[in-house]
Structure 1
Amino acid sequence: MTQPAPHTVATLAGDLRALGLTGGDTVLVHTSVRSIGFVAGAVQAVVQALLDAVGPSGTLVVPTQTPANTDPAGWVNPPVPAAWWPIIREQSLGFDPLRTPSQWVGILPEIVRTWPGARRSEHPQLSFAALGARAAEIVGEHPLTEGFGERSPLGAVYRLGGKVLLIGCGHQRNTSLHLAETRQEQPPMVGFGSAVRGPDGTSRWVTWTAPDQDVTHFEEIGAAFEATGAAVVGAVGDATARLMPQRALVDFATAWLAGV
């Protein structure tokens, strides 16, 4: 039996263009690289295909979150002894956009984060990296209290009329839906904590209050949004991909959550 040819930068870029990604687009990507299948050049080729699809005037955005830099009192996977909590808070290295690796968001965001010319926002837990023409504009502002809010990279993508691309993953990983959470009339607020690196290189523990993050309804919201016909579903390599306008998605989710 003849084996199918491996995917390449050119074939993946073609799939992305067929899905609707075009030159000049700003696109926020969530992906399971494994779902794409065998790619000549591996994950680096996937990033290059995305960059080729949006072209030199476009911008690629990815989440580069750091869940290990959170308050250990809330850790459950796995939990740590309470006696360790003050040591972790006092001794953790502060978040550094250049040095601190992303976690639990897949390998592609880490490749984008370290790509020449990439920029990263400075939020110690919920950072994003961007690569391309609007990178500095997208990640330049990211206050502690706006992890997923209006002044976060999610809000910047919204204002720029960007797109969301899910490759081989569902809406549970669709961070743009968190922007809709922050737009509720009275979102539930919770406390957060992280180690932050100061200008002198020393670390300190900081705390703040911000809207809670709850993905419980994300798959349901995503399915309802897709039912409107606003998302394009197609193949990128072997993966099922979904491309959608972020502004329409967030506006839909904002209304959906208000009606729950």
Structure 2
Amino acid sequence: MTGEAGARTRAGLMRDLWGLGLRPGDVVMVHASLRAVGSVEGGPDAVVGALLDAIAPQGTLLAYVSWDRSPYEETLNSRTLTVQERDAWPAFDPATAGTYPGFGALNAFIVRHPDARRSDHPDASMAAIGPLAEGLVAGHAPGNAFGPGSPLDRFVAVGGRVLLLGAPLDAVTVLHYAEAVAAVPGKRRVTYAMPVLDADGRKVWVRAEDYDSNGILDQYAVPGQPDAVETVMRAYVAERPHRSGRVGDAPCRLFEAPDLVRFAVDRLERWHGTPGAGAG
């Protein structure tokens, strides 16, 4: 359904989402391109509203929002900030921190929703809205961005679904969980530092070590070449059934997260490790 000047309506987007296969009660992780969706009456807030309407009343919406001031690159491995830079850098506060624009402008509107809950991991921050929101995002500490015990682990455990709302295949963040649990030798690890608030509200810098989500193996860290997420997703869409359609003007895909992770772990271990040895 369209409104004035051809703009899509919240109700029309909800019906499109139902047509794609979303259902009340779903736990869905969204990756979105607002530009691909097209003009919507009410703007991005209406898109968030349509997503929540489609899974209401018991559904939960999840998004990977990160942080626009994350010092990940500035502190990666041996990189350091000057004392002056460290002092001036703001501490991550889930209640007020911005979102990383590279993961989609819709994230900023998800975070500011009055019912949104946000995880405490600065760089891998997740935001969720719905009955399962707190349980999904709680206890997300530096050093465990995407592995066992992370929000992605819990998302898969509750049978979550992944929605690409005009977003590309390399946006499927849940496959970083598959990278973390796959039994593959030589997985790349990185160190980084993040400024967070301690129990007294003071800024402290915390150094952590984690798997390298920018290239889990050397061959997936070549600039201009597909990373592991995109490589696995290309194989998945070629071999496995999934739902596809349009929401607004956006080409969309809907995936079952547990099946995605099982497929990804199997493929990564077949290609690079020990088949059947991983979790999932």
Per the normalisation by structure 1, the TM-score is: 0.91
What pairs with 1:176-187 in structure 2 (closer than 5 Å)?
176-185=174-183, 186=185, 187=187
Query: What secondary structure, in the 3-state scheme, does the structure 1 residue paired with 2:143 have?
Result: helix
Other-structure match for 2:149: 151
**Of 127, 130, 134, which aligns to 2:125?**
127
Letter in 1 for 2:130: G
Other-structure match for 1:250: 261
Other-structure match for 2:190: 190
Go from structure 1 to structure 2 and tell me whether the alpha carbon gap of 1:252 and 1:96 turns closer, same or farther (over 3 Å shift): same
CA distance in 1, matches of 2:114, 2:190: 36
Q: Is 1:143–1:151's contact at 8 Å kept on the other side of the alignment?
A: no
Deviation of 1:159 (Å): 0.5
Q: Alignment identity in percent? A: 35
- 2:94 aligned with 1:97, yes or no? yes
Please identify, of 236-245 and 59-68, the stretch whose mean Cα deviation from structure 2 is larger.
59-68
Query: What secondary structure, in the 3-state scheme, does the structure 1 residue paired with 2:6 have?
Result: coil
CA distance in 1, matches of 2:47, 2:93: 26
Other-structure match for 2:24: 23
CA distance in 2, matches of 1:29, 1:49: 12
Q: Is 1:31–1:169's contact at 8 Å kept on the other side of the alignment?
A: yes
Q: Is 2:144–2:210's contact at 8 Å kept on the other side of the alignment?
A: yes
Q: Is 1:72–1:88's contact at 8 Å kept on the other side of the alignment?
A: no
Please identify, of 101-110 and 54-63, the stretch whose mean Cα deviation from structure 2 is larger.
101-110
Other-structure match for 1:37: 38
Q: Is 2:72–2:123's contact at 8 Å kept on the other side of the alignment?
A: no
CA distance in 1, matches of 2:173, 2:92: 21
Task: Give deviations 1:148-184, integer Å, cap 9, x for gaps.
Answer: 1121111111000010001111121111110111012
Other-structure match for 1:88: 85
CA distance in 2, matches of 1:139, 1:157: 9
Letter in 1 for 2:246: A
Q: Is 1:90–1:205's contact at 8 Å kept on the other side of the alignment?
A: no
Go from structure 1 to structure 2 and tell me whether the alpha carbon gap of 1:71 and 1:240 turns closer, same or farther (over 3 Å shift): closer
Q: Is 1:28–1:163's contact at 8 Å kept on the other side of the alignment?
A: yes
Deviation of 1:5 (Å): 2.9
Go from structure 1 to structure 2 and tell me whether the alpha carbon gap of 1:257 and 1:87 turns closer, same or farther (over 3 Å shift): farther
Letter in 2 for 1:99: T
Go from structure 1 to structure 2 and tell me whether the alpha carbon gap of 1:243 and 1:72 turns closer, same or farther (over 3 Å shift): closer
Query: What secondary structure, in the 3-state scheme, does the structure 2 residue paired with 1:145 have?
Result: coil
Go from structure 1 to structure 2 and tell me whether the alpha carbon gap of 1:231 and 1:74 turns closer, same or farther (over 3 Å shift): farther
Q: Is 1:23–1:53's contact at 8 Å kept on the other side of the alignment?
A: yes
Letter in 2 for 1:138: L
What is the aligned-residue RMSD (CA, Å)? 1.9
Go from structure 1 to structure 2 and tell me whether the alpha carbon gap of 1:123 and 1:245 turns closer, same or farther (over 3 Å shift): same
Between Structure 1 and Structure 2, how many residues are aligned? 252
CA distance in 2, matches of 1:19, 1:224: 21
Please identify, of 157-166 and 217-226, the stretch whose mean Cα deviation from structure 2 is larger.
217-226
Other-structure match for 2:67: 66
Q: Which runs of 4+ in 1 moved over 6 A?
A: none
Q: Is 2:75–2:81's contact at 8 Å kept on the other side of the alignment?
A: no
What pairs with 1:215-254 in structure 2 (closer than 5 Å)?
216-254=227-265
Go from structure 1 to structure 2 and tell me whether the alpha carbon gap of 1:71 and 1:26 turns closer, same or farther (over 3 Å shift): closer
Q: Is 1:65–1:126's contact at 8 Å kept on the other side of the alignment?
A: yes
Other-structure match for 2:211: 211
